[in-house]
Amino acid sequence: GTVTALAVHGYQAFTPTLEDEHTTSLSGHIAQICTLIDQNRLWDIILVGHSYGGVIITGVADRMPERIRHLVYLDAALPDPGQSLFDLFASGGSDPLSFTGLEPANAYVEKIRFDPGNMVSIQKTYILCTKSEFAVVTGVARRKIEVVPGGWTYLELPSSHVPMADMPVEVVRILLDVVKQ
């Protein structure tokens, strides 16, 4: 997998399992990742968020910007302050409940609070998967980046929403390129 491939190149990767989205909140998920960073004394971090994870890494970067070198949004939600994951679906013109497996769990309806100024100095990469079933949300992200392109590297992969399975070699190559920036 991706973690093994990165380890071969000498990089340590963490793949935390998030607490259940029905029993915790977005704030709880953000706190969980901040705790992992603190407990492992991590600095100079490349934080990768896939899907809903984009909302989480935004919150983590807001809380500890000095420890994050680069944010990578992998076919991920890219919120504005005061938006929830469900709000991003709505802003893309879709009902989130029309997507299989999405339900109004606390984590998906909680609105994120953050100061975009905290992330100005952090490098950011967005990887859009062109065959993603969540193009409604990733399209919103693409349009946000097009309006304010400064500080972003924008890439596309001809993959479904799960490029780690569809195109693992390409995902690792992109992450290794990010490390070298």
The pLDDT tens digits of the residues spanning 132-171 come to 999 999 999 999 999 886 789 999 999 999 999 999 999 9
DSSP 8-state class, residue 52: T
Residues β-bridged to residue 128 = 156
What's the pLDDT at 149?
Answer: 64
Q: Does 51 qualify as catalytic in the annotation?
A: yes
Could you give the CA distance from residue 164 to residue 84 in angstroms, rounded to a whole number? 25
Instruction: Give all strands (DSSP E) within the chain, no chain letters.
Output: 45-50, 68-74, 123-129, 152-157
DSSP 8-state class, residue 167: S
Could you give the CA distance from residue 103 to residue 97 in angstroms, rounded to a whole number? 6
What's the pLDDT at 33?
Answer: 98
Report pLDDT digits (tens) over 58-87. Answer: 999 999 999 999 999 999 999 999 999 999
CA angle 60, 87, 70 (to 5 degrees): 25
Which position among 25, 51, 94, 98 bears the catalytic label?
A: 51
Residues β-bridged to residue 50 = 74
What is this structure's pTM?
0.96
Region 99-123: mean pLDDT is 93
